[in-house]
Amino acid sequence: MKRTVFFGRTVHDALDAERVEQCVPSKRVPGCFESDSLTRWQSNVYGRGFRGARLCKTIFGWSVRSDTGLDNFALLAGHRDGSLPNATQEQALAWAGEWHAQDPEHRYVTD
């Protein structure tokens, strides 16, 4: 699935290219990667300080979550923690833009 990149396109594209270069293509699912090589690569990228966030629609409005299971897809901002109560997509996107701006060389935001 192709994602919309709202912030950090250069970082996102560079990581996509790196993943294709370093991970073993799946023999069963075209366009995917073998889990051992993918999780090894993801751990390496995470260890180098790269972070991604995703906008998510919930029953309480929009939230922003980490895009990796390495931190359990942690809630970065949303209704539950009070930072984005009943947020619109525009409010969540504004919050995500500020989050990205804190470290634009290592962060990206997608849908």
pLDDT digits (tens, 9 = 90+) for 57-102: 999 999 999 999 899 999 999 998 999 999 999 999 999 999 999 9
Structure tokens at 107: 């962060």
CA 94, 95, 101: angle at the middle one, nearest 5? 90
Give the total residue count for the chain.
Answer: 111
- Global pTM reads 0.91
Can you tell me the distance from the alpha carbon of 30 to that of 20, in angstroms, rounded to the nearest whole number? 12
**Residues above pLDDT 70, as percent of the chain:** 99
* Res 1 pLDDT > 80: no
pLDDT, position 2: 79
Can you tell me the distance from the alpha carbon of 54 to that of 89, in angstroms, rounded to the nearest whole number? 11
For residue 31, the one-letter residue type is G
Asked if 56 and 64 touch (Cβ cutoff 8 Å), the reply is: yes
